[in-house]
Amino acid sequence: MSLNIQAIIHELLQKGFESALSLKGESLDPLLRKAQNPEHGDFQSNGAMGLGKKHGMNPRELAEQVVSTVDLNAIAHPLEIAGPGFINIKLKDDTVLEMVREMDADPQLGVTQSDDSHPVAIDLCGVNVAKQLHVGHLRSTIIGDALARMFERVGRRVYRENHLGDWGLPIAMVLERLMANSVDLETLSLDALNDAYRDAQLGARGDERGFARAIECDAGPHRVIELETQNESASGAQQAAKDLLIALQQGDEQLVQEWEKLIECTMRSVFESLGLLNVKIGPEHNRGESFYREQLSGVVEEFVDGGFAEEDNGALIVRFENRERPMLIRKSDGGFLYATTDLAAIKFRTQSLCSDQLIYVVDARQRDHFKDLFDATKIIGWDKTPDGAEVEMVHIPFGSVLGEDKKPLKTRSGSNVTLSSLLEEAIERGVVEVRKRSLEPNAPTHGMNDEKLCTIGRQIGIGAVKYADLSNDLVRDYVFDMDRMVAFEGNTGPYIQYACARIRSLISKCDADWSDAEFIIHEPEERALIMQLLQYNAVFQGMIQSLEPHRLCTWLYELTESFNTFYQSCPVLKTEDSKLRLSRVRIAHLTKKVLVDGLDVLGIESPEHM
């Protein structure tokens, strides 16, 4: 029995519609969905309404013809037609029980594994050297890691690409400022490095327009001298940074060593935060701008040699047929841009890594940039791997994290919220909740030492933040409400984590071997829970197609609700029928396995006790 029974029914109904409409070879969608009301069946096909109207046929008559040709007798009760042409399908209990046995025995829990041997490359996190991670990095990192885990879960190889901003004039400006001030880079803190970055930016910022305006308005000698001095200082700082960058680009050994210290200082803090977030990103995933620096001239030459780039006032641009906006790939002074580096990265990911799917988890403001980037890639032919596979390129834009005022989350002073401070608050809130609950005499955590309570608190706090982020539609902004996030009730991470812990506790109290117990359907709530479990693969495949982790979040919440309904209606350990008791323990265990597996795909840990 195939665990993907929904796909089997879909295919048979599709053929039924093709036969009824005499449209062989056409792909007709039967619109098969999970039934909203279990009393009507397990699945419902709504395709007759749209297809009947489109092809000039009465929808109910069309549904009747489909039902007369589709044979599901081996797995389902006779198909029923409701209303204007809905087709209701209810599986036989024997079918349901056979499928749940297969799912429980399958190490993959029924999740279909991919046969695509090409890897997936996911651009995520996007750290800038010499700058602290802020709340904006939260979404790119959490979403990107969840997508990576999702593809790995179906057997795909994934390259997590942390595209570091570690090269170019801004970094040279910081390094020049630190060296000019004789700062010991061995003991440099990220706070000091961040301050140096800000000071370097300010020190290199002139005001030529203000200077011209001061002379024009006769602002007085003091103001003119002040602006003149500022511009001279800025010009000197810019030139010093450019000279250092040239030396760095030429491989000056001492400068390269000092530059590497900036990266080490930045990444120590980054990996500390990423470790707290429980995301799978390490040094092996760093492939920043510096990695591609030797490839940029070659990228530009390929566009020129292929006739895909043209000169415009000394610069090189790529034009597109469907818009006036060209893409600049080399400046008039010979310098390269972010677009040039991104093109080099695409070439590497598709031609060297042979990835047939490129996913960029970058905020929505970069939408136009990625449209240009992907179109330029198609123009030059890097949208196919060396073995001829078509490359799918996707930009996943995401909304902002907002404060209670519905504006981008800021500190009281108006600065960006650092990621570390946000995570510390989440962990603190999680620990407070766990300690409070541990005071209750009947709590599983009562009497537990504080170290273990803090570990559980961290898992809850971080899980709360990640679930709140991933459970929203990615493109929408969301309000960062810590009180709601850490709640043990409602559609939250802790609510699902708590269900896992409760089921573990329930199973531990069973004193008999339930592992080979026969699954039994005795009550409607048992059947409803099993049917929900059997949806796991369909939900997972839908998430793979849409690249929308919130689909899994919604389903895990529904599964938790379904289990709670089952638990309230179907006594587990207290039922007198031993076979029924062991069956219900086994159903609970399978539910726990699926919940833990689903949370792991989201990068959320499942505490043993809560």
Domain 462-601, CATH class in plain words: mainly alpha
Residue 206 has pLDDT above 80, yes or no: no
Q: Looking at residue 180, what is its pLDDT?
A: 78
Which pLDDT belongs to residue 241? 80
| Position 3 pLDDT exceeds 60 | yes
Question: Quick one: which of 566, 504, 490 has its CA closest to 531?
Answer: 566
Instruction: Give CA torsion, residues 457, 462, 464, 466, to 10 deg.
Output: -170
Closest C-alpha among 399, 568, 560, 592 to residue 491: 560
pLDDT at res. 201 = 67
More confident position, 210 or 82: 82
The answer to whether 383 touches 350, Cβ cutoff 8 Å, is: yes
Could you tell me which residue, 330 or 25, shows the higher pLDDT?
A: 330
492 pLDDT above the threshold of 50: yes
What confidence tier does 454 reach under pLDDT thresholds 50, 70, 90? very high
pLDDT above 50 for 497:
yes
Residues of the chain with CATH 1.10.730.10: 462-601
- For the cut 60, the answer to whether the pLDDT of residue 468 exceeds it is yes
pLDDT value at residue 40: 87
> What is the pLDDT, as a whole number, of residue 490?
92
The sign of the torsion formed by the CA atoms of 489, 495, 501, 504 equals positive
pLDDT tens digits, one per residue of 29-73: 999 999 988 888 999 999 999 999 999 999 999 999 999 999 999
Q: What residues does CATH 3.30.1360.70 cover in the chain?
A: 5-91
Could you report the per-residue pLDDT of 212-250, keeping only the tens digit for each? 454 455 554 444 344 344 444 456 667 888 888 888 877
Contact 3, 537 (CB under 8 A): yes
* First-to-final CA distance of the chain: 38
Q: Which of 185-189, 218-222, 351-355, 525-529 has the lowest average pLDDT?
A: 218-222
- 387 close to 240: Cβ distance less than 8 angstroms: no
Between CA 80 and CA 97 the distance in angstroms is: 22
| Tens digits of residue pLDDT in 145-204 | 999 999 999 999 999 999 988 887 788 888 888 887 888 888 878 777 877 777 776 655
Residue 595's pLDDT is 98
Domain 120-165+281-396 sits in CATH 3.20.20.140: no
DSSP class of 350: I
Please list the residue range(s) of the chain that carry CATH number 3.40.50.620.
120-165+281-396
CATH of domain 5-91: 3.30.1360.70
* Structure letter (DSSP) for residue 113: P
